[in-house]
Amino acid sequence: MNSTKLENTEIRWHPTTPTHFRCEPDCVCCCARPFFFTSEKAKLPPNVKEKLTYKYRRRLPEEAISLSQKNAGHPRRMIVPKPLIPYKGRTCGFFNPESPCHCTVHSYRPLRCKLFPFLPLLVKNKIVVFAEPFLTLFRTEDEPDWFRCFGLGKGKNVQASINEMSRKFLMKLAEEYPILFRDYCVDDTDQLIDWKEIEKFRKPKYNSWKEAKPVVYQKIEKKLRGYCGESHPR
């Protein structure tokens, strides 16, 4: 499906997706998987651009990618922030605990970040909005312990704004990352749902990030010491 068709595609919300959201102060949940579109990078100031790099998404089975093909036009090359700790970890390089929202470029953050904790997928020619922490899609073994959202189901109804951003996100994905766009087109959503995470959401051990923070920070103490202490790269 091309971006023109997406402009008129119906948008639905998956039954498991909360329609309300409030960003929890001091939370670090959204700092794990950002990427920029080429059109977004073009609008960034030089000091932000210099902290971006490229990442190659996993290949499709039929693709045979040689080193000579890894150039600026490669269809699986994504623009991403450099990792906070060089060559290690998945935490966004713009993460800074001293900055508002823990982000040094919050006013320039890409659509991918603005959408979190929501993720739109194209399901049988319809745009369906999911709660990303409830999905197994794109999850990896080194997923940060804090990759969860304590603001889901709280605050105001955000359906209208998320619908608008979801359509725009998928349209840009189809135009600028057409190969990657395939990863966002699915048929069977039941296999993507992490029911254990949904159960944790319905029966939370902690009702807010403020309550969970001391426990979460203990789990990732060594990592956070590296991010926030003397070795912090800022």
The mean-pLDDT minimum among 35-44, 160-169, 181-190, 211-220 falls in 211-220
* 170 within 8 A of 180, measured Cβ to Cβ: no
| Domain boundaries defined on the chain | 3-228
* Per-residue confidence (pLDDT) for residue 137, from 0 to 100: 81
pLDDT-derived band at 214, boundaries 50, 70, 90: confident
* Per-residue confidence (pLDDT) for residue 60, from 0 to 100: 43
What is the distance between the alpha carbons of residues 128 and 208, in angstroms, rounded to a whole number? 27
The burial class, CB within 10 Å (0-12 / 13-18 / 19+), for 156 is exposed
What is the distance between the alpha carbons of residues 2 and 6, in angstroms, rounded to a whole number? 7
Question: Looking at the predicted structure, is the pLDDT value of residue 232 above 50?
Answer: no
CA nearest to 220, candidates 4, 16, 29: 29
* Per-residue confidence (pLDDT) for residue 32, from 0 to 100: 67
pLDDT in tens, 61-88: 444 344 334 444 555 688 999 887 665 5
Rg (CA), the chain: 18
Tell me the residue length of the chain.
234
The Cβ-side half-sphere exposure at 27, using a 13 Å CA radius, reads 21
* 157 within 8 A of 18, measured Cβ to Cβ: no
Question: Looking at the predicted structure, is the pLDDT value of residue 103 above 80?
Answer: yes
For residues 51 and 147, the model is more confident at: 51
What average pLDDT does this structure show over 230-234? 38
What is the distance between the alpha carbons of residues 209 and 196, in angstroms, rounded to a whole number? 19
* 19 within 8 A of 13, measured Cβ to Cβ: yes
